[in-house]
Structure formats: C-alpha cells, structure tokens
Amino acid sequence: MTLISIDGVSRRFGEVTALDSVGLDIRQGEFFALLGPSGCGKTTLLRILAGFEQPDAGSVRLDGADLLAIPAHRRPVNLMFQSYALFPHMSVEKNVAYGLERERLPRAEIRERVGAVLETVGLAAQARRRPHELSGGQRQRVALARAIVKRPRLLLLDEPLSALDKKVRSEMQLELKRLQHEVGITFVVVTHDQEEAMSLADRIAVMNGGRVEQVDAPVDLYERPRTPFVAGFIGANNLFTGRVTGKGLEVDGLGVLPAPAGSEEGGTAMLAVRPERIRLGPVTDGEGVLRGRVVDVSFYGGVSHLALSVPGHDRAVLAATQGRARVEAGAEVAVSWDAADAALVDGVSGDRRA
Amino acid sequence: MTARQPARVVGKAAGRLATMGPGFGYLTVFLLVPLALVLSYTVFRRGRFGGVVYEPTGENFTRLADPLYLDVVIGSVRLAAITTLLALLLGYPTAYMIARLPARWKVVALVAVVLPFWTNFLIRTYAWIVLLNSEGPVNSGLKALGLGTVDLLYTDGAIVAGLLYAYLPLMILPLYSAVERLDPQLREASANLGARPARTFWSVTLPLSLPGVLTGCVFVFVPSLGNFVIPELLGGGRRIMVGNLIRDQFLKARDWPFGSVLALAVIAVLVLLLFAQAWAARRAGRGA
C-alpha cells in the first residue's frame, strides 16, 4: 500500500535546479532511503516532506490527501535532524514531551509515553539531564525518541549515522532497524553514504542532479544498475563503454567483451563488472578476455583486492578474491568474467561516462 | 614537573599582562581611582566650598533615607524601568525581524539602527523639544484633527520618550545578536513537533535569547538611570532624576559627600542588577 506519493515535484533556487520532476512512491511500513551525493536534491525533498519547503511544481500525497496543503506543524510527519536540534534549555524528558504537549494530551498520558519511549531507546536513567550532558550517541537517541513518541505516519531521518563514530554507528544501525520493526512506522532516511542506505533500507532511491536515477531493493541496485550513474555510484565497479554487438560489447582498444544480451545492437552502452565477479588465470594462448599486469595487492583478511593495469583501458581493473591472493604484484594474468555476471547499462551519452 | 616549567608559566603570565596591561591600566587609573575617591567621600563632612573635611560622619547616609531624596531615587528607577520595558517591547520584534532578513538587508538595517548615533546627542534631544512643544508638529497635527493640544513637553512621558529614543539601539543590538545566533533548525524542530509559530517563539526562541534580553535591559537601564540631560531638557526641571541630583550636589550645592552617597546608591542598584543578570544568564545559557 502506498503511503506517500510524490509526483512531478520540482524546486529551483535561483539558477540551481534542486529537484527536477521527481516521482516516487513510498509504501506503508517500509524503510526507504534517499541516496545520492551532496547537492543531488535529497535534502530538499526531505524538507518538502517535512513542510519546511514548498515545491514550485508537482504534488505530494499522503494516504491520497494533499500533504502540501498542510502546514509543517500539523503534518503527521516527524523529522530527526542531522544536527539533532535538541532544545538546549530543556531536559531530555522535556525535549521528548514537547511534541506531545503540543497535542494537548493529558499529563498522565504524556508522562507515560515519554517514560516508555525513553525506556525503548535506553535513556530512562538520563531523563533529567540536559542535552549538553549527553554523549553524541545519547543525543541521537533523544532526537529519535522525540520524533517517534509522536507516532507519526512518516519518520524522516536526515543522515542519521553520519555524526557517530564507527562503533556507535553499527549499534545504532541495528537499533534503527529493530525500532522500525517494533513501531511499524514508515522510515525515510536521507543519506549520502551508500553503506548506510544499503544496510538499513528495504528500498533505495538513488538521486543525482535533482532526478531519481533508480528505485530498487539494495540487492537489485547492486546487481542490476540501470543507469551509468548508479553503476558508478553504488559499490566498486569496472566500467567499460562501447558498442553493443551480437557477441558482446565492443570497446575501442579492448575488443569484444562478454556482456549479457538484451540491449539493442549497434547502440552505445556501459558494461559494469563487479570486482568479485572477475576471474584471474594464467596467461596461456586463447584463454581469458583481457590481459593485465597486477600493480597492487591489498589483503583485508577475508578478502584481497587487486588492481590490474590493462593495456588499452585508462583505469585500473579491480578484482576481489576470497582470502589471500594467489598472485603477486608484477605478475601477468588473464582476466575474464561470465557474461551473465556483468550488467549492461543503456543510455550512455558521450558526456555522461561514469 | 621539570624545572623549566615555572619559568615558562611566568613567561606566559608576563605575555598576558603585556597584552591586557595597557587596557587594564587605563581602566584602573581612570575608573577605580575616582571610584575610590567617591567611596571615601561618603563618610566625611562636606567642605564649605566643595571638597571634604576629613571628619568621619554617618549623616550623609541618613540623609539618603529622607523621603525627599528617596523619592527621587525611586522615581528615577521607575522611569528607567519603564524606558527599559518599552525598549524591550519595541526592540525585540525589530531585532527578531532584522535577524531573519537576507544577509545584505541585515547590514542595511543594522546601519539604520545605529545611524542616530552619528548625530550629536544634544542636537537630537533639542529636536524632541521642537517636536513636542505646544506649537510643534505633533500638537499642530492634533489641532488640525480637531483634538486640541496636549501638554507633551515637560512631562514624565517626554522624558521616557527621549530616553527610549536615545537608548533603543542599545536594546536592539544585543537582542539581534542573540536571536541571530540561534540555530534556525531549533525553530524547525519545534514546528515539526507540532508547535504553531507563536508557541515556538514562547517556548524556544524567547528562552534561548534571554541572555540577550538581559544584556539589552542592562544597556538601556544603566544609562537611563544616570541620565541628567534628558530630564532637564524634556522634563523641564519639574521632574528631577537621580542624575540631576548628583550633578547638583557636586556643582551647585557643593555637597560632595552627599553627592557621593547618591552616586553610591546608583552604583548599588546597578551592581544588584548586574548580579541578577549574570545569575539569569547562567541559568538560561546553561547548555546553550
């Protein structure tokens, strides 16, 4: 069931187009992510959903009703700010109670709900502290508690993990997922960090230059990028641009590379091969697709990353292997992959090479 | 600790002293010395032609309790307080809107606020006499509307109007800087949690700008309380404020000890006020 329906939303700031005819559907109860580099329009879209910004064109509907006609303070939408925006002059419990007091709920109910939500985020003992007496992770929990205690239809999270150090980050990541499951609120997280988006979200909208490039589940986004931007942005990828032929993708200087069928022959396309799909073998005549020389080997424990220089290709080809690499820097290797393991992306224009 | 550390500490202290020294020296000599003189005069008898006779006495202080003088002090505090309150009520909305203007217009507005300071204070006060006198533009306007003339000049109202005019910028500037410093996301967070703009103002903006409010109030109250030019020119001498009284004790009555006691009373009121301000600012600013 669709909760939020965004259609043809555009917003310009002077000469800058922040959003260019954006269309999206967000489903009831899902964990949705808006992912893109800074300046892609994701924050503007978030601010439009919260009511801090009005689009120049387009519509936003919540349960079929026009959301844009409702002022910010009456929307069933709460936002967890990136800076947390906790009220510094109020204690933790006052911060959390603030939203419920605005609904003019009975005092007893407010006290009960504030207590319950502080219990949920593990801050019951800090209820009387001021925000400046808390750690970064605790402040974030207060911000989260303050937003979910209102039981909104939609919870917006602006870069929820960016300000936390690594250890607290992974804790919070698990906690966000648990909470989302527990409270059943639709979450929309805005982030520039693909790991954050991939690990948290059920579905991700990748945005670039004010447009939505692709909306998909994390796995589909990773395995079947549909635009050159997504292929280059999500994860590490080896990208080759060339012409589609019956046998594969013909690339200047490299020959015909194995590629899945399905694209129109003669068209320009981009081939994306994940490092972990690259196979390396001994150099013997007729074997492999490309010849390369190992320039660098990095061992990460579970995996090793190799960088290969391939004559005719201006970027290093990246390969990943399980465990330690069996080749050393300087070795000549044959590089190959299965056509089915690669993704072919249409719609490459000359100036949009990733 | 190594043996070198004390030397380094001394060096650091010397450096600090060299930097702060000249300013502190100036203040010490020209503020503290006169202040010490004034304090010491309070306990001696007056000299016949000014100055003091070094015979200790407490009668200067008992004179302060005389209703004649106490009323002047209380009346002055009242006028200064009214001026401060009006300045706050007028200044806060102005400062609030300036803080929310686009950057370019902020500069224009701030320059406009301090522009009156570029004209001589006396000239501006004389302008008020012209404005308020019975033949002045205000009364001409009222007459033209058939409302008759009103005695505006030489009233408490005229004094307050003049003080307010003189010191309103001193209220607006600290308020502006307090409001301007507030994270706009706090207002957004408040709206996001369901607060109407008015509620956001009372619960978030105002409490967080309280240190600025207190600073502005002190900036207006202090010079208003001590002012003696405006009461004389716009009050026409009918209303004496404590500033006039102090000046008259020194320059006309030649009673330096009693003038010093009055000055001390004003200083005491201000010190109390500053303590109250510091206390409230610490409370409001905790964690901000």
DSSP B146: T
Looking at residue A117, its amino acid is: V
pLDDT tens for residues B167-186? 999 999 999 999 999 999 99
Q: How far apart are CA B149 and CA B190, in angstroms?
A: 50
- pTM, to two decimals: 0.81
Count the Cβ atoms, other than its own, within 10 Å of residue A30.
16
pLDDT tens for residues B102-150? 999 999 999 999 988 888 888 888 888 888 888 888 888 888 888 777 7
Q: Tell me if A34 sits within 8 A of A47, measured CB to CB.
A: no
Q: Tell me if A354 sits within 8 A of A228, measured CB to CB.
A: yes
**Interchain pair A85, B185: CB under 8 A:** yes
The answer, for B207 touching chain A at a CB cutoff of 8 Å, is: yes
Contact list in B for residue A130 (CB cut-off 8 A) is 286-287
Mean pLDDT of chain A: 90
Q: How far apart are CA A7 and CA A48, in angstroms?
A: 12
The answer, for B203 touching chain A at a CB cutoff of 8 Å, is: yes
pLDDT at B113: 92
Contact list in B for residue A89 (CB cut-off 8 A) is 207-208, 284, 286-288
| Beta strand segments in A63-210, E | 65-66, 77-80, 154-158, 186-191, 203-208
To the nearest 10°, report the CA torsion of B184, B189, B192, B193. -140
Asked if residue B243 has pLDDT above 80, the reply is yes
Tokens of A51: 């009511």
Q: Which among A50, A89, A102 has CB closest to B194?
A: A102
The answer, for B190 touching chain A at a CB cutoff of 8 Å, is: yes
For the domain made up of B78-241, the CATH class stated in words is mainly alpha
Which residues partner with B134 through β-bridges?
none
Burial class (CB in 10 A: 0-12, 13-18, 19+), A312: exposed
Sheet (strand A343-345) strand order: A255-257, A249-251, A238-244, A268-273, A343-345
Q: B4: pLDDT confidence band, cut at 50, 70 and 90?
A: low
Q: Is A92 left (phi over 0), alpha (psi -120 to 50) or beta?
A: alpha
Looking at residue B70, its amino acid is: L
Average pLDDT over residues A239-266: 86
pLDDT at A286: 62
Q: Tell me if B210 sits within 8 A of B280, measured CB to CB.
A: yes
Q: Which domains are present in chain A?
A: 2-223 (3.40.50.300), 225-274+337-354 (no CATH), 279-336 (2.40.50.140)
Q: Is A85 left (phi over 0), alpha (psi -120 to 50) or beta?
A: left
**Interchain pair A88, B287: CB under 8 A:** yes
The answer, for B205 touching chain A at a CB cutoff of 8 Å, is: no
**Interchain pair B287, A72: CB under 8 A:** no
pLDDT at B284: 66
Average pLDDT over residues B246-259: 90
Which residues partner with A80 through β-bridges?
A157
Least confident of A186-200, B1-15, B220-234: B1-15
Does this complex have an ipTM over 0.95? Answer: no
pLDDT tens for residues A265-303? 888 899 999 999 998 888 876 656 888 899 999 988 888
Q: Where are the domains of chain B?
A: 78-241
Which residue bears the tokens 């600073």? B215
